[in-house]
Amino acid sequence: MQKFTVEATLRDQRGKNEARRLRSTGSVPGTLYGGGGQPIAVSVNARQVVGVLRSEAGHNTIFTLKVAGGGEDRVILKDWQVDPLKGDLIHVDLLRIAMDQRMRVKVPVHTFGEPQGVKLQGGIFEMVTREVEIECLPGDIPDEFRVDVTPLMIGKHLRAADLPFDAAKIKLVSDPQRVVAHVVALRAEEEKPAEVAAAEVAAAPAEPEVIKKGKKEVEEGEEEEK
């Protein structure tokens, strides 16, 4: 597994102006807390944090936070904020961890394979839940849960309890019956759009007939006058 180190400095000043100044220098404000220590305001290297988020384990990556003049901590990204317009990182929350203490994290679920209910029965595959919450030691946090959905037929579900994990190391916090993915049948209106269109066309001619009738009566009246 790739190891990451993020450089940080202690942060004395607060406020929007200071946050803008930090971001202009390639850093973002953050808060370090947990692990029995006091919360500390820090500024962290934005590029290095983005590298952690884009790694295989993503936000569940355990990395070293190296604070200038303040030592090192093993941490995990607890939360982060991104500018909705520019997509730039603007703030992070970092949680100190102890490798011998269990913690709760959310792990993404990825599927592979073509469900038989889609291939043979013409159903639709739907992903309902994209991550589940678990509890385990930091060293046992999986990067993801990968599940083969090939056997799924119409009406069959993949539930959280079906995910491949070692129950001796990992406790499932999410509801075991939560549906992760399933294959459903096409709805009736999706299966027969041509029939619906035909019915609408069949119901349309009533008004034109009245119009034509009125026109015919006018023409007959004109002939009588002649």
Count other Cβ atoms within 10 Å, centred on residue 61: 21
pTM of the model: 0.71
Q: List the structure tokens of 11.
A: 């942060």
Q: For position 167, what pLDDT does the model report?
A: 93
Q: For position 202, what pLDDT does the model report?
A: 55
* Domain boundaries 104-189, corresponding CATH code: 2.170.120.20
**Which residues of the chain have a pLDDT value below 70?**
1, 188-226
Query: What are 165-181's pLDDT values in tens digits?
Result: 999 999 999 999 999 99
Superfamily grouping for domain 5-97: Ribosomal Protein L25; Chain P (2.40.240.10)
Q: For position 86, what pLDDT does the model report?
A: 87
**Matching residue, tokens 């999706």:** 190
Compute the distance between CA of residue 129 and CA of residue 35 in angstroms, rounded to an integer.
30
**H or E, element range at 7:** strand 5-10
Q: For position 194, what pLDDT does the model report?
A: 53
E strands within the chain? 5-10, 27-34, 37-45, 63-67, 71-82, 89-96, 103-112, 124-127, 131-136, 145-148, 157-159, 171-172, 179-184
CATH 2.170.120.20 intervals, the chain = 104-189
Compute the distance between CA of residue 71 and CA of residue 49 in angstroms, rounded to an integer.
18
**Matching residue, tokens 């639709």:** 124
